Structure formats: structure tokens, C-alpha cells
């Protein structure tokens, strides 16, 4: 017995002490996901700004437990202890907020409004899986369970013995409708509540079918029961009553549609012929298959972090299409309010996700991104623009024209169906040379100045002008790459290649940094490189100077030498976390998140600088990238409620961890290269859709061994600082020999450096 106990204790010590790699036993990858990672967030400090999305990968509808008040973007916060209901949500970010929402809540006693019905709960009596959620509602003595499909969900409520058991259906305020149909055990309704980005005829239609005949049916308005079976008003809902024995389970099947009630009924068929437990098991299998594209061996907490990040990486963009009676995809257009054929996806901001979320889809889930690209073309057809921030239609948020990157990376890798590549290219050209009349973040705000002067001026009333210029220059490079691939005239591609050099117009040699420039050609003055915002977007000049994804060598040339370039990279970590917040008038959460991480002025909690560490590879000092990447992965990610270092943002910050854990990263989407970092995995197998495998081994990996001593590709020594897409998708074995000391000889010659336009 003592020997068995000792063996058990030893195993636990190894597993939890960070010394022994763990493999996903039985391929239950979803067991390693913590949907609560990042939920301990608030307006002034984000540790993810996430909520537990109970969903299918890329599902049209998510479900979540709701702690916040109706309309609060921070709808689930970990240190709140009362639940108000279970909400169907489409929220991509608390800053964008939600649309198409309604809620269901089981209660004991006639408690309708969200304050009355709210119940204390404990995380110890809460189970959160990607495909299943359960919680004990203490004040009602009820267990609530949810398991979803793409467009429907099963609810199961275990009641106490009571004559006053109820299910509250809340259609939410700002205009809603409810109707109870007792003869069919059914409730139908719609909600119009949204936070923008929808046409005037927007509605989310829902249908709820109860599997036990209720003892009473009521409708309510503004929290008060009304006569009749149907209501349409500002804020309405239904109250369904049951007399129950202790332990009795009341089940409800729920579906919704943006098209109409008939389509909602059609979507309900996703549950047809299946029990609650069958749907739950089906959901587990779907998640395990999706997550199982990546089979990794790491320390236990690293494994939990990896799969939690991967879970976040495959939630958005969400499907916004449904299937008609013939099984063909159709969608309600959030751009013109019509019901049209074909795919539609939404709820993503390309300013965030062009960086590595979409490159992750292209590598690991290309068939999904092929559908997304078809959806992007539909967006262009229906609105005249490619989207930049969609939720569900065009939203006024962030800067840039990074749809060019998202479209280009997929075309360059031949993931986009060939028959729509030309049309998407035309959409890129149109979006690059126009600006949406109502939504200035769609298209290119200031394109007239940019095309004439080669930059967006600082002093013409266009905010964050330097950030726009830098991103437009990279986007022009993306357009040129696609144009060349499609055989467009040289006069056209040369124009965009010329504009791809426009980043140079903002380089200030007196600071070796990017700086806003006035219309007369003079740099803005005074200039504080530590000032957030102003000429930049949610960052300062130290962060945005590196946004020359396509021409790092060109940036080095502007700085004068590789040595100066490396010195400037070093300085980001050496400069204390001081800042100037005067543009915002207060310390925004992105600034605070940089300040508290003790990594100088490196602000990994926001996206503009997330590729920066990899740039050491372009200057012959890759070991510095290896060191700082390991520092970032170990310090800034945890599988816990405070597990992120800033906004997670639609999978981008998560996808960074997924890529970086594997040991490479797409610094320049639309190129064919992934820049090498420092793997965190001991072993990983990426199971590609074409049947090939990327096998990564780093058996000596531990917290000290963060440096690459030697790297072999297919058993041959490999000295470059990048991998190519072609190498990876053919199937490849990558063997990393890790060490606790930097190898200052490997990857130091120019022939080893990744692509730059200036080469």
C-alpha cells in the first residue's frame, strides 16, 4: 500500500510540478479546455474579456450563463456570484456588445425580472465545457444544464418538489414579441435588441418546445403578468409553470433564426430524434475532432492553456447562415436586410485577427476558411465593401484595411475557390480606394490623402493617421501579391508595390521611430514616443514602428544597420512601462495591462506589437526572440479566470499562443513563410486536412531550455529562421534540440533571414 501511495504521489508531483509532459489520454482534448479562462475581467482591466461560450466550433449561436445586467457587455464576470439567466449570445467582445439575445431562466416562485430571479451560485457547483454547461442555482434549488448544436440547444432543468416551478423566457427590451401555444407545448418570439450593425428589419426569431406539458402559461410585460397568450411591446416574455417532484427533469428544445419562425423550426431539427445526453456526446465528439487537429504533449497547465486558446481560436468568425428546406445555405444579410443564398460569417475584427487567427485557419482548417472567403464575397456584393469589423454588419471600430490581408493569405495559399478569386481581388481594389459613407472604419478612411501624398496626414481631422498609413502600406503589398498571382497588368501591381513603400514616409530618423506627419510634409510636433493613441491606435510609436510586416529589411535600412535595429527592439523591453495617456484622458485598460506585466514597454495584451519579438530573426539574433517568446508564453498565459494579459479578441491572442507553442508564427500573412520562435511543446502533431502531418519534437524542452541549439527538418540540419507553407503542408518532421544557453551561431547569416520586400 505504501509503495502504491508513493507511486501515486510521485506521478502527481511530476504532473503538477511542471516536469513531466502530458498527453491527451483517450483523445478527449476538450477535457483540457477551460471556457472560464479570461472571465475575471472588467472595464478597467482585461484578463481576456471573455465569457464561457457554450457552443459548437464557429456556431451560429452561443449560450452563456449571465451574471451582468441586461445590456451589460461584461455579461459573465468570474467574481460575480449571482446568475440572472442563460442567454443566447452573439457577442464578439464586450466593447462591441451583443445582438439577437434572449434568455431562459428556471426559478422557484413567480420571479420574473432579472433582479428577482437572480440566484447565488458557486463555481464549485458549476461545470463548464465547450459543449456543455451545468450549474446549481442555490436560491431555487434547481440544477440547470445546456448543450448546444450550431443553431439549437437542449436545456435540462432538475427541479425540487414544488407547486411553483417556473421557466422564465425573457425576450429582452428595445422591442420584442412573445406568444405561447399551449396545444403544441411551444413558445415563439423574437428579439430586436442589438448594439448596432443591423438593418431596420433585423429580428432574431426563436422557438422553444417543452417536453412536458406545463401546468400554466402566461405572458408578461415589463416584469408583470398580463392576460392573453401573445404580446408585442418594449419588453415582453413568458412564464411557464410546473408542479414538480424533487429530482424531476424538465427539458426544453430551443432554436433560433435570423430569417423567420419557419426557419427557426427548421433549425430545431438539429435536435430531432436525439436525447439531451446524445446531443451532449455529439458535441464532445465535434469539439474533440476540431481540437484534435493539434495533438500536443506539454506540462499539464501548458496543455490546458493550449487547448483553451485553441478553443477560443475556433469560435469566431461565427456562421451567420442557415439551411433552407432543400439543404442549401441561405442567410439573412446584415447589410441589406434581404434573405439571400450562400454563406455568411460575422463577428470578427480584422484589425486583430488578420495577424495570426486567419493564418491558423489557413494552415489547420482550410476548408472552413474557404467558406469564410465565399462569405466575404457575399458581404462585398451586399454592401459594396469587404468588412473590416463585422458584428453582424459593418461596425465603426478600429482602423486599417486588413480585409486585404485576410483575402490575400487565403488566395496565395489556394484555399479560396479559384472561381471567386478574381471577384475577391476586385473587391480588394474597390475597398482599398473608397470609404464607407456611414462607417469610416470600413474601406480606407483618408484614402484620398494616402493615394496622393503617400500617407494619411496627422492634421486633417483623421484620427490615428500613422497607424492607418502603416497598415494601408502592408495591405497594398497584399493586393500586389494577389494581382501578380492572378496575372493582372504590371501597371496595376506596380502601383500597389509602390504604395507598399509608403511606410517610409513616416519614419523619423532622429528617433528611429514612426511619427505622424502633417499635410505640409512636416512631422507632427511635439512628439512623445510614449504617447498612446494620437497618431497610433491603442499603442504608441514604440509599438507601431514594427508594423512593416512585409519589409522588415526595409525598416532596418531606415534605421541604418542591423545593430541599430536590434538595439531598438531591445529598447522596447528596456524602456520602463511609462506612458502618456493624455490622448484618451484616462488610463485605458490596454495601458494598465502593459504597465503591470513587468516587461518594459512591451504590450502583448494588445495586438499591434504581438509579432514584434519574432523580428529578431530578421537581424541575425534569433536567440533573443527565443528568450522573449518563452518569457511571454510563461508569464502572460494561464488556464485560469485571469489567464490572459489583455483582450483575447476573437481568437487572435489565443492563436498567437497556439502558433508560438509550436515554434513558428506568420509574421507576414500573404507570404509563404512562418518565422521560427521557440517551441513550448515537447511533441506536437498537426493533422492536416490533406492527410499529411507536421510532427514537432523538442524532448529536452523545459522552463530553462528555451533556446534552439539545433534544428533538423526531415532529419537534415536546418539553419533558416523560417519555414515555408509548402514545406509544412507536404508533411514534415521538425526536431528541435533545446538548450539553456543561446546558440549565437545559428541563423545569423542573411541567407537565413525571412522574406522582406526590399530583398
Nearest-CA neighbor of 428 among 393, 461, 477, 462?
477
- So where are the chain's domains? 29-291
Average pLDDT, the chain: 96
Nearest-CA neighbor of 504 among 562, 452, 455?
455
The phi, psi pair for 43, rounded to 5°, reads -55, -40
Domain 29-291 -> CATH class? mainly beta
Looking at the chain, the whole-number percentage of residues with pLDDT higher than 90 is 96
**Model confidence, pTM:** 0.96
What local confidence, expressed as pLDDT, does residue 21 receive? Answer: 73
pLDDT range class, residue 24, cuts 50, 70, 90? low
Residue 22, CA distances (Å) to 94, 306, 674, 683 in order: 34, 12, 26, 10
Burial 438-473 (b: 16+ CB within 10 A, else e): ebebbbbbbbebbbebbbbbbeeebbbbbbbbbbbb
Q: Averaged over 64-73, what is the pLDDT?
A: 97
Measured distance CA(293)–CA(365) in Å, rounded: 9
Three-class DSSP category at 191: strand
Q: Averaged over 544-566, what is the pLDDT?
A: 98
Stated as kind and residue range, the H or E segment containing 289 is: helix 276-291
Nearest-CA neighbor of 172 among 220, 108, 111?
220
Quote the distance between the C-alpha of residue 527 and its chain's center: 34
Q: Averaged over 234-257, what is the pLDDT?
A: 98
What local confidence, expressed as pLDDT, does residue 22 receive? Answer: 76
pLDDT at 15 > cutoff 60: no
What local confidence, expressed as pLDDT, does residue 7 receive? Answer: 41
What local confidence, expressed as pLDDT, does residue 26 receive? Answer: 62
The phi, psi pair for 217, rounded to 5°, reads -135, 130
What is the Cα gyration radius of the chain? 26
Measured distance CA(40)–CA(48) in Å, rounded: 8
Amino acid at each position: 500500500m505504501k509503495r502504491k501511495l508513493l507511486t501515486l504521489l510521485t506521478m502527481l508531483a511530476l504532473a503538477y510540478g511542471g516536469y513531466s509532459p502530458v498527453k491527451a489520454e483517450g483523445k478527449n482534448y476538450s477535457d483540457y479546455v477551460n471556457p472560464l479562462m479570461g472571465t475575471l475581467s472588467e472595464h478597467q482591466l482585461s484578463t481576456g474579456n471573455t465569457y464561457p461560450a457554450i457552443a459548437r466550433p464557429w456556431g451560429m449561436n452561443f449560450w452563456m450563463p449571465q451574471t451582468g445586467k441586461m445590456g451589460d457587455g461584461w455579461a459573465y464576470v468570474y467574481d460575480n456570484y449571482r446568475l440572472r439567466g442563460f442567454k443566447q449570445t452573439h457577442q464578439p467582445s464586450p466593447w462591441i456588445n451583443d445582438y439577437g439575445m434572449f434568455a431562459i431562466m428556471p426559478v422557484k416562485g413567480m420571479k420574473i425580472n432579472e433582479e428577482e430571479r437572480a440566484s447565488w451560485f458557486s463555481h464549485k457547483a458549476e461545470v463548464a465545457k465547450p459543449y456543455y454547461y451545468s450549474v446549481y442555482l442555490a436560491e431555487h434549488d434547481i440544477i440547470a444544464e445546456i448543450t448546444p448544436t450550431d443553431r439549437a440547444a437542449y436545456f435540462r432543468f432538475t427541479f425540487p418538489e414544488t407547486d411553483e416551478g417556473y421557466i422564465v423566457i425573457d425576450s429582452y427590451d428595445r422591442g420584442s414579441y412573445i406568444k405561447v401555444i399551449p396545444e403544441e407545448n411551444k413558445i415563439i418570439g423574437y428579439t430586436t435588441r442589438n448594439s448596432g450593425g443591423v438593418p431596420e428589419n433585423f429580428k432574431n426569431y426563436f422557438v422553444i418546445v417543452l417536453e412536458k406539458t406545463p401546468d400554466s402559461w402566461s405572458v408578461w410585460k415589463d416584469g408583470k403578468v398580463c392576460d392573453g397568450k401573445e404580446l408585442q411591446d418594449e419588453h415582453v416574455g413568458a412564464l411557464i409553470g410546473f408542479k414538480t417532484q424533487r429530482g424531476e427533469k424538465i427539458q426544453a428544445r430551443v432554436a433560433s433564426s435570423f430569417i423567420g419562425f419557419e426557419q427557426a423550426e427548421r433549425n430545431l431539427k438539429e435536435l430531432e430524434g436525439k436525447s439531451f445526453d446524445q446531443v451532449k456526446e455529439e458535441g464532445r465528439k465535434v469539439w474533440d475532432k476540431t481540437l484534435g487537429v493539434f495533438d500536443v504533449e506539454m506540462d499539464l497547465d501548458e496543455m490546458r492553456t493550449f487547448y483553451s486558446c485553441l478553443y477560443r481560436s475556433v469560435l469566431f468568425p461565427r456562421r451567420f447562415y442557415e439551411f433552407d428546406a432543400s439543404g442549401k445555405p441561405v442567410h439573412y444579410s446584415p447589410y441589406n436586410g434581404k434573405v439571400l443564398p450562400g454563406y455568411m460569417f460575422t463577428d470578427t475584427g480584422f484589425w486583430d485577427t488578420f495577424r495570426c487567427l486567419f493564418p491558423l485557419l489557413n494552415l489547420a482548417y482550410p476548408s472552413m476558411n474557404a467558406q469564410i472567403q465565399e462569405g466575404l464575397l457575399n458581404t462585398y456584393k451586399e454592401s459594396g465593401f469587404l468588412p473590416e469589423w463585422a458584428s453582424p454588419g459593418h461596425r465603426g471600430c478600429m482602423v486599417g484595411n486588413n480585409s486585404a490581408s485576410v483575402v490575400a493569405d487565403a488566395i496565395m495559399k489556394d484555399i479560396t475557390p479559384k472561381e471567386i478569386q478574381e471577384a475577391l481581388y476586385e473587391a480588394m481594389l474597390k475597398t482599398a480606394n473608397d470609404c464607407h459613407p456611414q462607417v469610416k472604419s470600413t474601406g480606407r478612411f483618408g484614402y484620398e490623402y494616402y493615394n496622393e501624398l503617400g500617407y494619411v496626414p496627422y492634421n486633417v481631422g483623421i484620427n490615428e493617421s500613422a497607424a492607418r498609413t502603416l497598415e494601408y502600406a502592408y495591405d497594398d503589398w497584399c493586393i500586389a501579391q494577389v494581382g501578380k498571382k492572378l496575372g493582372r497588368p504590371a501597371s496595376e501591381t506596380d502601383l500597389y508595390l509602390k504604395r507598399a513603400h509608403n511606410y517610409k514616409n513616416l519614419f523619423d530618423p532622429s528617433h528611429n521611430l514612426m511619427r505622424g506627419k502633417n499635410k505640409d510634409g512636416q512631422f507632427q510636433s511635439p512628439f512623445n514616443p510614449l504617447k498612446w493613441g494620437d497618431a497610433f491606435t491603442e499603442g504608441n510609436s514604440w509599438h507601431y514602428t514594427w508594423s512593416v510586416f512585409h519589409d522588415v529589411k526595409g525598416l532596418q535600412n531606415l534605421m541604418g544597420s542591423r545593430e541599430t535595429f536590434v538595439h531598438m527592439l531591445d529598447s522596447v523591453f528596456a524602456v520602463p512601462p511609462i506612458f502618456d495617456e493624455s490622448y484618451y484622458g484616462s488610463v485605458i485598460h490596454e495601458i494598465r495591462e502593459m504597465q503591470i506585466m513587468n516587461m518594459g514597454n512591451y504590450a502583448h495584451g494588445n495586438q499591434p506589437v504581438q509579432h514584434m519579438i519574432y523580428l529578431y530573426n530578421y537581424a541575425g539574433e534569433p536567440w533573443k526572440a527565443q528568450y522573449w517568446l518563452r518569457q511571454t508564453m510563461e508569464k502572460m498565459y494561464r488556464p485560469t479566470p485571469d489567464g490572459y494579459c489583455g483582450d483575447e479578441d476573437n481568437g487572435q491572442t489565443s492563436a498567437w499562443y497556439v502558433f508560438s507553442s509550436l515554434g513558428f508564427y506568420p509574421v507576414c500573412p500573404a507570404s509563404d513563410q512562418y518565422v521560427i520562435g521557440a517551441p513550448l511543446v515537447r511533441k506536437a502533431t498537426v493533422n492536416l486536412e490533406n492527410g499529411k502531418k507536421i510532427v514537432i519534437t523538442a524532448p529536452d524542452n523545459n522552463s530553462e531550455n528555451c533556446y534552439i541549439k539545433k534544428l533538423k527538418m526531415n532529419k537534415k540540419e536546418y539553419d533558416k529562421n523560417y519555414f515555408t507553407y509548402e514545406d509544412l503542408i507536404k508533411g514534415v518532421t521538425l526536431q528541435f534540440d533545446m538548450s539553456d544557453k543561446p546558440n549565437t551561431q545559428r541563423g545569423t547569416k542573411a541567407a537565413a533571414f525571412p522574406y522582406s520586400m526590399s530583398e
